[in-house]
Amino acid sequence: METLVIGQVDEAPDHPVLPRAQAYDVRELRFHWRDETAALELEASTHEDYVVLRFDGVKDLCIPSGDAITGIRLRIQDTSACPSRTHRIFPVRVGGTNEQGYSLRFWAESVRRID
């Protein structure tokens, strides 16, 4: 990926679907496979809030094995303004790590909050 694009992606703003996503811990992931497209529902919480987010068009999914998913702090970025001439940049970037260093990361076409 072009160096300029990498910098833009790293500095992309937080996604408005979940302000202060870093305050949330991942609680559960649910995968949906349909017609060769992947979707993921992610449950996360703080002491004051509980949220379910649905990510459609999931790509490059990397999740820790076992129960290492517990305690992962989220970062959800809006990468829709990161242009690249040589690579397709998906509009949503998700990442996070826990205290043991296990990480969750993926890209998605879209995200919405499920009430």
Q: What does DSSP assign to residue 21?
A: G
Question: Over the stretch 2-56, which tens digit does the pLDDT of each residue have?
Answer: 555 666 777 888 999 998 899 998 888 898 887 777 899 999 999 999 999 999 9
Which contiguous run of DSSP H or E holds residue 95? strand 92-97
Beta bridge pairs of residue 50 = 45
Q: What is the pTM of this model?
A: 0.85
Q: Which two tokens stand for residue 103?
A: 């990480």
Sign of CA dihedral 22, 23, 26, 32: negative
